Amino acid sequence: MKKSNYAIITIIVLFASFIIAENNQKFSRKIIEAETQNKYNYYDNPQVCLGCHFEKFDTWKRSQMSRAYTGDFFQAQYQQALVDARRDEKVKGVKADCIGCHSPSAFKAGDLPPSSTGTDKIDSFMQQKGGNKLFADRGVFCDFCHTIEDFSGKTPFNHNYISNAGPGIDPKRGDLEFPWSPYHKNARAELFEDARFCGICHNERNDFGVWVKATETEYQEGPYPAKGIACQGCHMPPLAGKPAKMGPPRAEHKDHWFGGGFETFVRGAAKLTIGINKAALNPQEKIDFIIKVTQLSPGHKFPTGSTEERDLWLHVGVYDKEGNELDHIKIPKNPNDPNDKYFITTNEKVAYPTHSKYGNPIERDSLPEGDRLYHSSFIDSDGNFTYAQWYCAKEIENRLKLLEERIEQYTWNCPEKLSGQTVILRAVLNYRRMPDSYAKFLGIPARPTIEVSRDERILKISR
Ligand code: HEC
Ligand code: HEC
Ligand code: HEC
Ligand code: HEC
Ligand code: HEC
């Protein structure tokens, strides 16, 4: 070999070891291991699909699916789960388990927990502002879903997908009839039009044997399967345009935004009706009335999914024309129901961010006290309320069932101070993705309140 060749090789070797050493400081070994990289590379990056399936990419990029790993809430909670996995044998599996659904390609590659996100060029997924992205950051992405062949066993749950991705370009599975693509082979798969496909990740049983997510099971128990409406029918509605730039025009082309606990889906998902048989009353008069809460549009219970965090609450009050609250009407306590306290808002410090044996409780609801709350309370093995689904030993819930009509009984003592006024009796149903107190604890922004529905009656108070 010529001398200059030796020089070049030496330079390359030096350069390579420099890169590896450099990377070693920022990343765990796994990500720089060739085998891990290869397995990650079994799946194409989403931007490979962008050129021909732009609308799919554009809607997916704005969805929670694309943030399933990078989302601030997931990241903060996963860090907590990792702390618990290290100190508690019973939950050591969560290190891998969370990733099975939130970053399935990292799970399949065995990069657990996924190597930390840095600014270095390991992978060029989406050259966005804020640096290069890592493989794990792809979350739940195109090529992962479209190479799912089936699920193992009879029930879809706990990421029991069977992925047929391997080296090379795998056939893309979907619902189209006679597709042809210059980039990939296709494979028709009935599963893609079936709710069980979604159940693979939307049903979850934790190490305590509790079903902490059961959206697909809830759906199967409702009226929609018989009507032929799957999750896709509501969450992936048809869009105008073609599924692929180069393909033929088709009757349908499915949205990939996967909207859920957001304004467009939540607003109107349930309806309120005030039942009161009087329009005029005297000061100091006591009046009974009801509020009917009707679950309308969700194909599962409302709320569903991350039910330990999602809250739906009914606020009832008396207001003046300007909207000032004159009196807050609280839901009466039910002494016959030992679980009643879980369904009435409180700001007591009784909620634990993880197992109660590991720390101090925070405020539970951060809402006006005394409102009816529809949600799931997760109870740990010491009997305390926890936000950590991995420690849920028992679920206590009162969520709205499909098309259910729930009746709430109220009593109002008209205060003397309102004599001679015309007031508005108003009931408002609100939804929120997580309590402000928990967001504060995790150090992430509080989530907005979305109004689901309201009803009003005008009441004349005599002098
Ligand atoms: C959570 C899994 C999931 C992800 C992520 C996903 N898809 Fe899909 N995709 C589906 C399902 C399910 C269908 C079939 C929907 C139906 O038939 O109701 C589908 C349908 C399609 C189709 C067939 C045409 C159509 O509109 O029905 C194409 C093309 C497609 N997806 C491309 C993509 C691309 C590109 C991305 C990434 C930008 C992506 N998908 C991300 C699940 C997914
Ligand atoms: C060079 C263009 C091109 C690229 C790149 C491309 N596709 Fe396609 N894809 C097509 C065309 C064309 C069709 C057929 C559309 C039709 O027949 O309506 C198609 C069809 C599909 C289908 C439907 C398959 C079925 O059987 O229903 C899926 C799913 C799909 N692509 C996913 C992907 C994913 C995921 C990627 C990225 C990894 C990707 N495509 C990249 C052009 C492309
Ligand atoms: C590979 C696992 C996986 C599959 C398969 C899957 N999902 Fe998801 N989905 C997730 C994860 C993880 C999230 C939560 C991401 C986050 O917010 O961190 C999610 C979020 C969602 C959301 C957003 C909820 C919200 O309000 O934040 C909807 C809606 C949804 N999925 C519907 C579906 C439907 C419909 C299907 C079937 C066509 C499906 N998913 C299949 C993993 C999956
Ligand atoms: C009949 C229409 C319909 C069907 C069918 C349906 N959904 Fe929904 N889904 C909704 C509506 C409306 C909402 C918003 C209200 C709510 O949160 O329940 C929603 C919300 C969600 C959320 C967000 C919950 C939250 O608060 O974070 C997820 C996740 C979800 N659906 C998944 C699914 C899955 C998985 C299936 C199938 C097993 C499915 N949905 C079937 C209409 C539907
Ligand atoms: C079997 C699949 C699965 C597993 C395992 C799983 N998740 Fe999820 N996760 C989901 C799905 C699906 C959603 C969306 C539900 C919804 O929006 O209501 C979700 C939602 C979340 C959210 C809410 C995100 C947001 O922005 O509102 C957080 C936080 C979260 N998961 C954390 C975790 C942690 C931490 C673990 C491990 C202890 C974990 N998940 C394990 C499927 C899973």
Cβ 264 vs Cβ 70: under 8 Å: no
pLDDT at 19 over 50: no
Q: What is the pLDDT of residue 28?
A: 60
Which ligand places an atom closest to the C-alpha of 390?
5
Q: How far is the CA of 328 from the centre of ligand 2 (A)?
A: 56
What are the pLDDT digits (tens) for 239-252?
A: 888 999 989 999 88
Cβ 175 vs Cβ 193: under 8 Å: yes
Q: Is the CB of 232 under 6 A from ligand 3?
A: yes
What are the pLDDT digits (tens) for 350-399?
A: 999 999 999 999 999 999 999 999 999 999 999 999 999 999 999 999 99
To test the pocket of ligand 2, the residue of 44, 52, 138, 254 to mutate (highest count of ligand atoms within 8 Å of its CB) is 52
Q: How far is the CA of 230 from the centre of ligand 1 (A)?
A: 14
Q: How far is the CA of 102 from the centre of ligand 5 (A)?
A: 7
Q: What is the dihedral of CA 176, 180, 181, 186, to 10 degrees?
A: 60
Q: What is the pLDDT of residue 120?
A: 52
Looking at the CA of residue 104, tell me the nearest atom of ligand 3: 1
Rounded CA separation 460/278 (Å): 9
pLDDT at 435 over 50: yes
pLDDT at 163 over 50: yes
Q: What is the pLDDT of residue 17?
A: 40
Smallest Cα–Cα separation from 314: which of 160, 426, 412, 154?
A: 426
To test the pocket of ligand 1, the residue of 125, 196, 256 to mutate (highest count of ligand atoms within 8 Å of its CB) is 256
Rounded CA separation 364/366 (Å): 6
Q: Is the CB of 189 under 6 A from ligand 1?
A: no
pLDDT band at 16 (very low <50, low <70, confident <90, very high): very low
Looking at the CA of residue 158, tell me the nearest atom of ligand 5: 1
User: Closest Cα to atom 3, ligand 4: which residue?
Assistant: 299
Q: What is the pLDDT of residue 22?
A: 38
pLDDT at 15 over 50: no
Q: Is the CB of 56 under 6 A from ligand 2?
A: no
